[in-house]
Each structure stands twice: as structure tokens, then as C-alpha cells.
Amino acid sequence: MKIASVEPFILHMPLNRSSISDSTHTISHWGVVGVKITTSDGLAGYGFTGTHAHLGSDRLVTSCICDCYAELLIGEEAGDVSRLWMKLARSPALQWVGRAGITQIALAAVDVALWDLKAKAAGEPLWSFLGGATSEKLEAYNTDIGWLSIPTDQLVEGSLKAIEVDGYRRLKLKVGHDDPTIDLARIEAVRKAVGPSVTIAVDGNGRWDLPTCQRFCANAAPLDLFWFEEPLWYDDVAGHAALARSTPIPVALGEQLYSADAFNQFMEAGAVHWVQPDVTRLGGITEYITVAEAAHSRRLPVVPHVGDMGQVHVHLAIWHKATTMLEYIPWILDGFEEPIRVEGGFYQRPEQPGASSTPTADAFRRYSRPLG
Ligand code: 0YR
Ligand code: MG
């Protein structure tokens, strides 16, 4: 199974509403920026990263794949995923240029495509190919009801519908107003409506400083928060460790970390309780496994962030022992051959061979953007 071609693509898929905001971004499209890798025997694997659909920076990713990684891949044995990951991650052309950011995001797309190929060649869905399911059911928690751009009355309404109609038991609400008492009032309204048994996590997307987070956490005590995600600047290990020591609210993070080394620093400092790796940032499934195993060996739970909107992470979450739940954001369901499915608050197991990373022909027709 030799690699015959490496073809990058950029798709900009519209969200299920005009736009959403968290504390740091307002977006209207999700970028599916990736690569199709074809083998000499005609099998095609797809991998992608998730972006905020800025064409300029998306092209940096496809250029990295096209101008740097492709020549290292053509003619290689496609099944040697570990060796190819090392070849790309340690390539002299890129190691000095970036061990985080664009190079890892591009590597993520390639690595997912290679795993997709391997599972397709074996005729199995990735979760089964990796070793099978770790438990009967995988719970979904709902992020899509909680954007900062949703006014409080609709936030309450959407939360109630998610619980009472759709069967969720876990919600995540965005926080990060300049005045945190606004966030506290929003959470309080939801808590009052849904009652004490629903878990409510919050996500600050790195907006606040340490004193603001500490004040927020002290005032949030009666709200029973399940975790506080990305409270501080993404790389601030000491700040997260200080926050973790000063509040009983568990700290969650990882969606913007690019290596196992970065995760190790947070874990060693006691700066994270819920570990949130993302294959679309981390250099793919290969490095994700390293992080998930490191977390599990410290008995820390792993709850991946869905930069792929769950398409690939559903497989990893079903398979890995450290994971019992997965984020749900249904933005790109019409874009993939086997879209993720949640019923009654639980993920359904994918059945098709591969990593559920194959966009539909229709998505390529409708959402493709020029590579440059
Ligand atoms: C929108 N999930 C997140 C989205 C989301 C972000 O900017 O990218 O809110 O990925 O933090 O936990
Ligand atoms: Mg987040």
C-alpha cells in the first residue's frame, strides 16, 4: 500500500445559524482543512483539522502539507503510520520552523488520513481497529446550547430543551464577559431551570486573568460547576496551577496545546483535572494516544475537545479507557459520509470502515475554497 498522491483541500462549512461567539471569537463558518491521501491500490484516506475559516491561515496549513510533507510521503508505505509521523515531526525542514501551530495542525491532517486509510484497509471502524469499545455507552455533553452570543432567556430555553426533549444530562456554558457577574447570573438562571442533577461546565476560552478567575470561582461556589475550561491564557502553567490550588472547581484544558510535552507540564504542575487533547491540533491520533495514555497513567480523565466536531474523536472516545464522555457541537453533520449521531444524550457507534473523516462529494462541490 504505497502512497501515490497527497492532495490538500479547504472547505468552509456554514454553521447551523448565522454566527456564534465565545469570549474570544465570533464565527459563521467552520473550516475543514485537510488532505486526501491515495494509495497505489486506489484506497483513499481523509484527514482534516478544524479552523475558524480564515482563508489566509488555512492556506498556510495546506501549503505546509503540499510544499513540505507531500515529498516526504510519496512512495512511502502508507501503513507505517508511526514511522511516517516521526519522519514528518522530526523533518529537518520543519523542526526548527515550528513544533506548535501550523506544522502540527498540518501534521494532524496527514496523520488522521493515514489512520483512516489503515482502518479502511482493515475493513473496520477506527474504534474497533484500535482495540474495541471501553464501555457500553459514550455520553455526550452539549456545548451548542451555551454560546456567549445567546441571550439569557434563550440560553435557559435551549438548556431545558436539551435536557427534557433531547435527553442530555450535561451542559457546557461559555463565560467571559468583562463583568463576570453577568456570567454568574446567566449560569444561575440555567441552574435554577435545570435543577441540581444536571452537570454544568463552563468555558472561558482563555479570556480572564488570575484574579478575575479567582473571584468568579469564589462567587460560583453555590452553582456546583463541573469544570472551568480554559480559564486563563493557554500556555500559563503556573497560573492554572495557582487557580487549581485556590478553588474546588476542577480545571479543564488542552484544546490549544500542541504536544505531549505541553500536556506533561500541566499535569506535573497539578494545573489540570480534566485533560482535553484534540487530534486536530496535536499532530493527530498518534500524539493524542501518547497524551491519553500519560493522562490515564496519572488517573486523570480525558475528555477530548472536538476541533473535528467529533467525527474522529468519537472513535477515540469510544475506544480509550480514560474517556467516558465527549463534547457535542453539530455544525458539520451534512458534510460527512458518516456524520456523528447522538440519541437520547449518548453517541451512536460509527459502523463504516475508517475514521469517519471522509467529506461527501456534495461538501466538496459546495464548500471548497481555492488553495491559492
Ligand atoms: C468557537 N469548545 C470550544 C469554538 C470551541 C470554541 O470559537 O472554536 O468555542 O472550540 O472552546 O470547547
Ligand atoms: Mg473550549
| Ligand 2 midpoint to CA 305 (Å) | 7
CATH number at residue 76: 3.30.390.10
Residue recorded with cell 435527553 = 167
49 and 141, same domain (yes or no): no
The beta strands (E) that lie in the chain are given as 3-14, 20-21, 26-27, 29-39, 44-51, 138-142, 170-174, 199-203, 225-229, 251-253, 274-275, 325-328, 342-343, 346-347
Q: Ligand 2 centroid to 93 CA: how many Å?
A: 32
**Sign of torsion over alpha carbons 303, 307, 312, 314:** positive
Ligand 1 pocket residue status of 23, Cβ below 6 Å: no
Give Rg (Cα) of the chain. 20
Q: Is 216 in the same domain as 301?
A: yes
* Domain contains 353: no
State pTM to two decimals. 0.97
**Is 22 touching ligand 1 by the criterion CB < 6 Å?**
yes
Sole residue written with cell 466536531: 309
83 and 17 belong to one structural domain: yes
Q: Whose CA is nearest to atom 2 of ligand 1?
A: 305
Same domain, yes or no: 224 and 211? yes
Nearest atom of ligand 1 to the alpha carbon of 174: 9
In a domain, 104, yes or no: yes
For residue 25, which atom of ligand 1 is closest to its CA? 7
Do 102 and 153 share a domain, yes or no? no
- In degrees and rounded to multiples of 5, residue 98 shows phi and psi of -175, 120
- How many separate domains does the chain show? 2
Cα separation, 294 vs 296, whole angstroms: 5
- Which of the ligands is closest to the CA of residue 146? 1
pLDDT in tens, the chain (372 residues): 999 999 999 999 999 899 999 999 999 999 999 999 999 999 999 999 999 999 999 999 999 999 999 999 999 999 999 999 999 999 998 988 889 999 999 999 999 999 999 999 999 999 999 999 999 999 999 999 999 999 999 999 999 999 999 999 999 999 999 999 999 999 999 999 999 999 999 999 999 999 999 999 999 999 999 999 999 999 999 999 999 999 999 999 999 999 999 999 999 999 999 999 999 999 999 999 999 999 999 999 999 999 999 999 999 999 999 999 999 999 999 999 999 999 999 999 999 999 999 999 999 999 999 998
Is residue 287 one of the residues assigned to a domain? Answer: yes
137 in the same domain as 91: no
Please tell me the distance from the alpha carbon of residue 346 to that of residue 65, in angstroms, as a whole number.
Answer: 35
Q: Range of 279's domain?
A: 128-347
Task: Note whether residue 372 is domain-resident.
Answer: no
* Atom number, ligand 1, closest to the C-alpha of residue 24: 7
- Residue 134, in any domain of the structure: yes
Ligand 1, atom 11, lies closest to the CA of 205
Same domain, 106 and 159: no
